[in-house]
A and B are shown apart, each in its own frame.
Chain A
Amino acid sequence: MNLRDMLHISVGNLRRMKLRTFLTASGVVIAIAAFVSMLSFGAGMQENVASEFNNLGLFNTMIVYQKDAEKEFPHDLQEKDTLSTNEPTKIKPLNNEALRQLSEIPGVSLAYPYESFTISVSIDDSIYNTEAQVLPQIAYKTKLHKTLLYGEHLGSDSSREILLTNQFIKEFEIAFPDSLIGKQLIISAKASSVDSGLYAIVKSDSFNFVNKIKEFDFDSLRNKNYVTNILKTEANDAVQRFIDGYMNRNEIISDTLTIVGILDNGIGSRTSTKPILIPMSIAEKFNSKGAGRGAMDFMSMMSSGQLDIFNQKAKPKSFSKITLNIDQGVMHKNVSDSVKALGYRPFSFAQEFEQIQKFFFYFDMGLGLIGLIALITASLGIVNTMVMSIIERKREIGILKSLGADELYIKLLFLTESAMIGTIGASAGIVFGWLISRLGSFIAQSYMEKEGVDAIELFTMPFWLVLTAFAIGLAVSLAAGYFPASKAAKVDPVEALRSD
Chain B
Amino acid sequence: MNKLWIETANLCRHYKRGSSTVKAVDGVDLQIYQGEYLAIVGSSGSGKSTILNMLAGLDTPTSGTVHVEDIDLFKMSKKEIASYRADQIGMVFQSFNLIPHHTALYNVEMALFFDNTPRTERTQKAKAMLESLGLGERLDHKPADLSGGEQQRVAVARALVKTPTVLFADEPTGNLDQKNTNQIAELLSDLNQKGLTIVIVTHDLQFAKNSADRIIRMDYGKIVEVIKNGDRNESS
Residue numbers of A with Cβ under 8 A of B are 1-2, 4-5, 12-13, 16, 395-396, 398-409, 493-494, 497
B91 at the interface (CB under 8 A from A): yes
Q: Are A494 and B53 in contact (CB under 8 A)?
A: yes
Q: Are A403 and B58 in contact (CB under 8 A)?
A: no
Tell me the B111-128 residues at the A interface (CB within 8 Å): 111, 113-115, 119
- Inter-chain CA distance A407–B83, complex, in Å, is 11
Chain B window 77-113, contacts with chain A (Cβ cutoff 8 Å), 1 for yes, 0 for no: 0110011011101010100011101100000001101
- Inter-chain CA distance A493–B170, complex, in Å, is 14
Given A16-B101, A404-B85, A406-B82, A494 contacting B114 (CB threshold 8 A) = no
Chain B window 56-91, contacts with chain A (Cβ cutoff 8 Å), 1 for yes, 0 for no: 101100000000000000000011001101110101
Tell me the B152-201 residues at the A interface (CB within 8 Å): 158
Chain B window 208-224, contacts with chain A (Cβ cutoff 8 Å), 1 for yes, 0 for no: 00000000000000000
Q: Are A405 and B113 in contact (CB under 8 A)?
A: yes
Residues of chain B within 8 A (CB-CB) of A408 are 79
- Inter-chain CA distance A404–B82, complex, in Å, is 5
Q: Are A404 and B101 in contact (CB under 8 A)?
A: no
Q: Which 10 pairs across A and B sit closest by C-beta, in order of nearness?
A: A404-B86, A406-B82, A404-B114, A1-B113, A404-B85, A493-B58, A494-B59, A406-B79, A399-B97, A402-B91
- Inter-chain CA distance A115–B79, complex, in Å, is 81
Given A399-B99, A403-B114, A494 contacting B82 (CB threshold 8 A) = no
- Inter-chain CA distance A330–B92, complex, in Å, is 75
Residues of chain A within 8 A (CB-CB) of B78 are 406-407
Q: Are B87 and A403 in contact (CB under 8 A)?
A: no
Q: Identify the interface centre among A1, A402, A405, A406: most chain B CB within 10 Å of its CB.
A: A402
Q: Are B83 and A404 in contact (CB under 8 A)?
A: yes
Residues of chain A within 8 A (CB-CB) of B58 are 401-402, 493-494, 497
- Inter-chain CA distance A399–B99, complex, in Å, is 8
Q: Are B56 and A402 in contact (CB under 8 A)?
A: yes
- Inter-chain CA distance A401–B82, complex, in Å, is 7
Nearest-neighbour CB distance to chain A for B80, whole angstroms, equals 9
- Inter-chain CA distance A403–B113, complex, in Å, is 9
Nearest-neighbour CB distance to chain A for B212, whole angstroms, equals 22
User: Which applies to chain A's interface (DSSP): helix, strand, loop or mixed?
Assistant: helix
Residues of chain A within 8 A (CB-CB) of B91 are 402-403
- Inter-chain CA distance A406–B80, complex, in Å, is 9
- Inter-chain CA distance A318–B177, complex, in Å, is 111
Q: Are A403 and B158 in contact (CB under 8 A)?
A: yes
Q: Are A497 and B113 in contact (CB under 8 A)?
A: no
Nearest-neighbour CB distance to chain B for A392, whole angstroms, equals 11
Q: Are A12 and B86 in contact (CB under 8 A)?
A: no
Residues of chain B within 8 A (CB-CB) of A2 are 119
Residues of chain B within 8 A (CB-CB) of A396 are 99
CB nearest to A13 among chain B residues: B101
Chain B window 11-55, contacts with chain A (Cβ cutoff 8 Å), 1 for yes, 0 for no: 000000000000000000000000000000000000000000100
Question: Number of B residues whose C-beta is below 8 Å from A?
Answer: 26
Nearest-neighbour CB distance to chain B for A289, whole angstroms, equals 94
17 contacts between A and B (CB under 8 A): A1-B114, A2-B119, A5-B119, A13-B101, A16-B101, A395-B97, A398-B97, A401-B58, A403-B86, A403-B91, A403-B113, A404-B87, A404-B113, A407-B78, A408-B79, A494-B58, A497-B93
Residues of chain A within 8 A (CB-CB) of B93 are 497
Residues of chain A within 8 A (CB-CB) of B97 are 395, 398-399, 402, 497
CB nearest to B54 among chain A residues: A494
Nearest-neighbour CB distance to chain A for B126, whole angstroms, equals 12
- Inter-chain CA distance A395–B97, complex, in Å, is 8
CB nearest to A398 among chain B residues: B97
Nearest-neighbour CB distance to chain B for A213, whole angstroms, equals 115
Q: Are A402 and B99 in contact (CB under 8 A)?
A: no
| 15 new A-B contacts at CB < 8 Å, known A405-B86, A407-B79 | A2-B119, A5-B113, A399-B99, A401-B58, A401-B82, A401-B85, A403-B91, A403-B111, A404-B82, A404-B86, A404-B113, A405-B113, A406-B83, A409-B114, A497-B93
Q: Are A400 and B85 in contact (CB under 8 A)?
A: no
Given A493-B58, A494-B53, A494-B59, A403 contacting B101 (CB threshold 8 A) = no
Residues of chain B within 8 A (CB-CB) of A404 are 82-83, 85-87, 89, 111, 113-115
Residues of chain A within 8 A (CB-CB) of B86 are 403-405
Nearest-neighbour CB distance to chain B for A275, whole angstroms, equals 78
Residues of chain B within 8 A (CB-CB) of A406 are 78-79, 82-83, 114
- Inter-chain CA distance A396–B99, complex, in Å, is 6
Residues of chain B within 8 A (CB-CB) of A398 are 97
- Inter-chain CA distance A399–B58, complex, in Å, is 11
Q: Identify the interface centre among A2, A399, A494: most chain B CB within 10 Å of its CB.
A: A399
Residues of chain A within 8 A (CB-CB) of B56 are 402
Residues of chain A within 8 A (CB-CB) of B98 are 399
Nearest-neighbour CB distance to chain B for A232, whole angstroms, equals 98
Residues of chain B within 8 A (CB-CB) of A399 are 97-99
- Inter-chain CA distance A404–B85, complex, in Å, is 5
Q: Are A12 and B113 in contact (CB under 8 A)?
A: no
- Inter-chain CA distance A12–B103, complex, in Å, is 12
- Inter-chain CA distance A408–B82, complex, in Å, is 10
Nearest-neighbour CB distance to chain A for B85, whole angstroms, equals 4
- Inter-chain CA distance A13–B98, complex, in Å, is 15
- Inter-chain CA distance A375–B11, complex, in Å, is 51
Nearest-neighbour CB distance to chain B for A150, whole angstroms, equals 72
Q: Are B99 and A405 in contact (CB under 8 A)?
A: no
Nearest-neighbour CB distance to chain A for B109, whole angstroms, equals 9
Nearest-neighbour CB distance to chain B for A66, whole angstroms, equals 74
Q: Are B101 and A12 in contact (CB under 8 A)?
A: yes
- Inter-chain CA distance A16–B102, complex, in Å, is 11
Q: Are B85 and A402 in contact (CB under 8 A)?
A: yes
Nearest-neighbour CB distance to chain A for B50, whole angstroms, equals 8
CB nearest to A489 among chain B residues: B78
Q: Are A405 and B82 in contact (CB under 8 A)?
A: yes
Q: Are A403 and B85 in contact (CB under 8 A)?
A: yes
Q: Are A4 and B119 in contact (CB under 8 A)?
A: yes
When the two chains form the complex, which single residue of B102, B110, B119 contacts A403, counting CB atoms closer than 8 Å?
Answer: B110
Residues of chain A within 8 A (CB-CB) of B53 are 494
- Inter-chain CA distance A407–B80, complex, in Å, is 11
- Inter-chain CA distance A5–B106, complex, in Å, is 11
Q: Are A400 and B101 in contact (CB under 8 A)?
A: no
- Inter-chain CA distance A4–B119, complex, in Å, is 10
Nearest-neighbour CB distance to chain A for B108, whole angstroms, equals 10
Residues of chain A within 8 A (CB-CB) of B82 are 401, 404-407, 409
Residues of chain B within 8 A (CB-CB) of A493 are 58-59
